[in-house]
């Protein structure tokens, strides 16, 4: 009884010192982050603790170990930055549009369309500090009009309104039940990151997988080198290294597949959600399988993903029937040269 009371008091003190721990969802997310950090430290720690040859090599060629440690730190930084970044919430975009109203003014006049809306998308520049300001006094019609313009004529607002957030969803947005918010260009909810992957952080997510894959490959190479040079010196050391190497190999296979999959999504401008639930998503129904309705060509997709999307929201409208017909026609040699193939 006394032990339980003491435990309760300690727990209450922890919650007072760290309010985030009182929320079970955030607590499990923090536990996962701590586990991931520990896993990285264990892999690097065991290597530098056991491998005397690596220590000797570090003395001779310090740049080699410095590069490895640089990748190690960069991967962890990228993980925490991605985890803390916003995936792009529909509510934030709506508040921004309603606050400024300038975008609405531009896109509602067809003759004055901004250059960035030529490819069928509306670009909303959003600085991080500007998001979420001025919650009151928003003009819902600006956002409603903007969203309706992205759908075929005759689409009702009721079918676009999220019943949880009470906000109209632009194409490619979806409500995430873990985050309890609508996310722009929803890809998936990442348990390891503790956040959604969407329009705002998909490129950061890709870079994180890329760095993690490179780190796993390099660490695996160092572990194999250790086993080749130091085998049969101390069996328990070899046993630990082999066990860690097996776990690393499984993680590496998973990471490589994930990297390839997301690279394919980037090249074709799709999301995981759109690919997996294609037949169930209303705006993708009836579109032929090999047609990627949001793709603007391989080069443009790559440029938009890596160079544009880090600090802006690009809301993409649905292609009209004529554009879909154009996308459905067979490719010619000229199309391949123009990168239309994706
Ligand atoms: Zn929602
Ligand atoms: Zn989420």
Q: Residue 121: CB partners within 8 Å, gap ≥ 6?
A: 314, 315, 316, 317
Parallel, antiparallel or unpaired: strands 188-190 and 195-197: antiparallel
Average pLDDT of the chain, as a whole number: 81
pLDDT at 112: 37
Q: Tell me the per-residue pLDDT of 267-325, one tens digit each, with 9 for 90 and over.
A: 999 999 999 998 888 888 878 877 888 888 888 888 888 887 655 567 788 887 777 77
Q: Tell me the per-residue pLDDT of 191-248, one tens digit each, with 9 for 90 and over.
A: 999 999 999 999 999 999 999 999 999 999 999 998 888 665 778 888 999 999 999 9
Instruction: Tell me, letter by letter, the H, E, C secondary structure of 29-54.
Output: HHHHHHHHHHHHHHHHHHHHHHCHHH
Ligand nearest to the CA of 90: 1
pLDDT at 16: 61
Q: Give the closest residue to 282 by CA, choosing from 144, 166, 155.
A: 155
The more confident residue out of 74 and 9 is 74
Instruction: Name residue 316's beta-bridge partners.
Output: 121
Of the candidates 190, 216, 299, 342, the residue annotated as catalytic is: 190
pLDDT level of residue 102 (50, 70, 90 thresholds): low
CA of 166 to the centre of ligand 2 (A): 17
Q: What is the pTM of this model?
A: 0.80
Q: Residue 292: CB partners within 8 Å, gap ≥ 6?
A: 268, 269, 270, 327, 342
pLDDT at 320: 77
Q: Determine whether 196 is an active site residue.
A: no
Q: Residue 101: CB partners within 8 Å, gap ≥ 6?
A: 139, 142
Find the angle CA(155)-CA(198)-CA(247) to the nearest 5 degrees.
Answer: 140
Instruction: Report the percent of the chain where pLDDT is more than 90.
Output: 42
**Residues 140-167: what's their mean pLDDT?**
86
pLDDT level of residue 12 (50, 70, 90 thresholds): low
Q: Tell me the per-residue pLDDT of 37-95, one tens digit each, with 9 for 90 and over.
A: 999 999 999 999 988 888 888 888 899 999 999 999 999 999 999 999 999 999 998 88
Tokens of 214: 């490179």
pLDDT at 230: 67
Ligand nearest to the CA of 189: 2
pLDDT level of residue 96 (50, 70, 90 thresholds): confident
CA of 297 to the centre of ligand 2 (A): 29
CA of 240 to the centre of ligand 2 (A): 36
CA of 174 to the centre of ligand 1 (A): 7
Contact criterion met (CB below 8 Å) for 315 and 184: yes
Ligand nearest to the CA of 186: 2
CA of 125 to the centre of ligand 1 (A): 22
pLDDT level of residue 137 (50, 70, 90 thresholds): very low
């Amino acid at each position: 009884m006394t032990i339980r009371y003491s435990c309760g008091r300690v727990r209450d003190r922890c919650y007072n010192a760290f309010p985030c721990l009182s929320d079970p969802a955030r607590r499990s997310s923090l536990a996962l982050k701590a586990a991931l950090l520990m896993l990285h430290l264990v892999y690097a720690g065991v290597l530098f603790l056991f491998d005397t040859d690596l220590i000797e090599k570090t003395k001779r060629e310090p740049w080699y170990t410095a590069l490895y440690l640089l990748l190690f730190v960069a991967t962890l930084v990228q993980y925490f930055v991605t985890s803390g970044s916003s995936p792009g919430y529909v509510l934030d975009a709506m508040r921004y549009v309603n606050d400024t109203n300038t975008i609405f003014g531009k896109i509602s006049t067809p003759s004055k369309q901004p250059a960035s809306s030529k490819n069928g998308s509306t670009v909303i520049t959003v600085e991080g500090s500007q998001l979420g300001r001025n919650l009151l006094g928003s003009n819902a019609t600006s956002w409603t009009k903007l969203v309706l313009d992205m759908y075929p004529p005759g689409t009702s607002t009721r079918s676009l309104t999220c019943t949880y957030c009470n906000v109209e969803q632009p194409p490619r947005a979806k409500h995430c039940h873990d985050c309890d918010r609508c996310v722009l260009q929803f890809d998936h909810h990442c348990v390891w990151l503790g956040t959604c992957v969407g329009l705002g952080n998909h490129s950061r997510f890709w870079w994180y997988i890329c760095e993690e894959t490179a780190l796993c490959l390099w660490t695996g190479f160092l572990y194999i080198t250790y086993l080749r040079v130091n085998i049969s010196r101390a069996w328990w050391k070899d046993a630990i290294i082999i066990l860690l190497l097996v776990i690393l190999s499984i993680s590496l296979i998973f990471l490589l597949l994930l990297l390839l999959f997301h690279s394919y999504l980037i090249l074709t401008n799709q999301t995981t959600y759109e690919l997996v639930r294609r037949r169930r998503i209303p705006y993708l129904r009836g579109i032929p399988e090999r047609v990627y309705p949001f793709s603007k060509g391989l080069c443009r997709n790559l440029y938009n993903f890596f160079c544009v999307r880090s600090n802006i929201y690009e809301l993409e409208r649905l292609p009209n029937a004529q554009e879909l017909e154009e996308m459905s026609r067979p490719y010619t040699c000229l199309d391949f040269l123009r990168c239309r193939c994706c």
